[in-house]
Structure 1
Amino acid sequence: MIPGGLLPNTSLANALVIAAATGFIWLGSGWLEESAEGLAARYGLPAVVQGSVIVAVGSSFPELASVIFAALAGVFDMGVGAVVGSAIFNVLVIPALSSLASDGDLESSRTVVYKEAQFYMIAVSALIITFAMAVIYVPVTDGPDLVGRITRPLATIPLLLYGLYLFIQWQDVGDHEAGPAPDGVPVRREWGRLVAGLLVILLAVEQLVGAVESLGHTFGVPEFLAGITVVAAATSLPDTLVSIRSARDDRGATSLGNVLGSNTFDLLVVIPVGVLLVGSVPIDFAIAVPMLGILTLATVLLFGTLRTDLSLTRIESYSLLIAYLLFVAWIVAETADLTHVLKGV
């Protein structure tokens, strides 16, 4: 999608849009990360809370906004495969790249391992339960087997769980013994820069995803394959840049907190908000559950590597990247009808 029709809808034009959008996302993510750091210091927030709430919600803003716009336009598509594909990219690729971009190992903490990672596993389980209840209690009788509708009451289940997540973070802020607030932090300017960064990221990601989709159609990439890999990676670009910046500044807890917090927000808030706006959306349990199973395995792999010495080494980083390449190879095999784990693809 070329902005405003100013450029022809060609492969070269789309490539230029992708390059320009990536640059703007880099700029906006810098504003977001720097303003979040300043505000967290001003209000005495722990590093994990800074990464898992402020930065995570900010970098996930494009996904939320795109779901809202699509829902209001009446063309909302659940896209569970793309959402879970983005989550798998976040869990396997972003921590690995952040570790490789840092000077040494990416340092973790017990808070990240025992609170953020485990709560994220609970979020995945809650989403599976919500999907299962849709199939059991609101089945689509005239469609394929194992297809149900997620209604507004069902969508409140993950939202209530995210409310619990925010409550836990609020309690951690109360228990945190912060040092004296730095003097001279321009609060209004930092909030303004935070909002400006969100707007830049939002507009840039919208153009980036549109250009990637256009290239996919041009080269005949199947829609499912493009959505779960290329588009998922494109929408995760803000999270990637923010996490890499934090890792380079030796703030591993913020970097990892952004990854897990973004995924928690996407699963527990982004999907339900779209459902609340539309009223109900169909969900194919036969596709959703295997994908969420892969996401669970990816999270367990990240959990295990982070727990060893509470750090992510270069060897462990390469193992995460290899795991993601195996996932992409499997998706290609599913698309080419070589394997048949996902029904209906």
Structure 2
Amino acid sequence: MIYLELLIGFALLLAGGEFLVRGAVAVARRLEVSPLLVGIILVGFGTSLPELVASVKAALAGAPGIAIGNVVGSNICNILLILGATAVIYPVACPRGALLRDGSMVVAASVLVIALCYSGWLDRSEGLILVVLVVVYAVGSYLIDRRSQNAARTIHEAEVELVEPLAGSLWTGLAVTAGGIAAVILGAELLVDAAIELAEAFGVDDTVVGLTVVALGTSLPELATGLVAAFRKQSDIALGNVLGSNTFNLLGILGTTALIKPIPIPASLLGFDLWAMLGATLLLFVAAVTGWRINRQEGVLFLALYVGYIVILVSPGLHSALEMH
């Protein structure tokens, strides 16, 4: 039953995320909202909604390891697995302007979250700071990009074009959006419940399950976007999606979760996994600025590092040995 719950949860998250984005974009098109605003807000939010629902659900269920492990694991998965797989299919172009602005924001957000976590908690005041920062970043990005046809604007508008058109009226779009949200919520419920049961059944820390099973499940919409973009040879869209998603995960999701219920920080995250997330983020930045692209060889390296990270997580002795004291 645990594995069936996981499979159904995965399927609902993937399908729900897809319908949510398609429905929301259809509504925005009917209302003639600018593609730039749709790309920054709706597409970015839609692909990150699974992480948000799963982290809030886990925090309220008394599983803080899953709540924060989901965000940390998703960011690692987005970079190493999703961008790695995308680059293997088709090299990822890294526009200088978009990378320097949005990539630097991911690095800064990662450092800020690590610093806040060293208090041992993410409390409501810190959650508010994170939420305010993500709102300022989103609004600022929109205002800057609206005034010029820069690389970031091109990527955000291309994200909207990547969404398959949805036929029907405004009400059809609203119904599909509502159905997508409902599917994501139900999928996250099933995924988190199964993850808690899985941790208890195998006697492992729920943080490990959050970093692996839950993180992979909630990253499925980003994976689907990355693969579609790669096969269409528009892999720079995958980069924009990952950078936006990772920023929203750190600031929006952790901030919102902490506002709803303060999160105690597991020691293992402070010792290794938060630093692994920062390391993956810096590796992405370095790989991208050398030639302003992530080539196939670098994609293979990313995938190998992700496999290595998962091996470390499922090897308790190795994971403990690598923790920074």
Using the size of structure 2 for normalisation, the TM-score is 0.78
Instruction: Determine the structure 1 residue equivalent to 2:53.
Output: 65
> Following superposition of structure 1 onto structure 2, how do residues 1-345 of structure 1 map, counting pairs within 5 Å?
13-35=1-23, 38=26, 42-46=32-36, 53-69=41-57, 73=60, 75=62, 77=64, 79-100=67-88, 102=89, 104-132=90-118, 135=119, 147=120, 149-176=121-148, 186-278=169-261, 280-283=262-265, 287-288=269-270, 290-335=272-317, 339-341=321-323
Q: Secondary structure at the match of 1:60?
A: helix
C-alpha contact 1:209 1:235 (8 A) present in aligned 2 = no
What is the count of residue pairs matched by the alignment?
309
Deviations 1:312-334 (A, max 9, x none): 32221111011112222333444
197-206 vs 261-270, which moves further: 197-206
Residues 224 and 22 (structure 1), Cα distance of their counterparts in 2 relative to 1, 3 Å cut: closer
Deviations 1:46-79 (A, max 9, x none): 4xx65553222112223322444455x5736264
Q: Secondary structure at the match of 2:264?
A: strand
% of aligned pairs identical? 25
In the TM superposition, residue 110 of structure 1 has moved relative to its aligned partner by: 2.4
CA distance in 1: counterparts of 2:124 and 2:321, whole angstroms: 35
Structure 1: gaps (5+ residues): 1-12, 136-146
Q: Secondary structure at the match of 1:75?
A: coil
C-alpha contact 1:51 1:255 (8 A) present in aligned 2 = no
Residues 34 and 253 (structure 1), Cα distance of their counterparts in 2 relative to 1, 3 Å cut: farther
Instruction: Determine the structure 1 residue equivalent to 2:164.
Output: none
RMSD, matched Cα: 3.4
C-alpha contact 1:112 1:253 (8 A) present in aligned 2 = no
Residues 250 and 86 (structure 1), Cα distance of their counterparts in 2 relative to 1, 3 Å cut: same
Bigger Rg, structure 1 or 2? 1
CA distance in 1: counterparts of 2:290 and 2:142, whole angstroms: 28
In the TM superposition, residue 33 of structure 1 has moved relative to its aligned partner by: 4.4
255-264 vs 104-113, which moves further: 104-113
Task: Name the one with the larger helix percent.
Answer: 2
* Counterpart residue type for residue 255 of structure 1: A
CA distance in 1: counterparts of 2:239 and 2:268, whole angstroms: 31
CA distance in 1: counterparts of 2:292 and 2:38, whole angstroms: 19
Structure 2: gaps (5+ residues): 162-166
In the TM superposition, residue 171 of structure 1 has moved relative to its aligned partner by: 1.2
CA distance in 1: counterparts of 2:194 and 2:267, whole angstroms: 30
* Counterpart residue type for residue 30 of structure 1: E
Residues 40 and 109 (structure 1), Cα distance of their counterparts in 2 relative to 1, 3 Å cut: farther
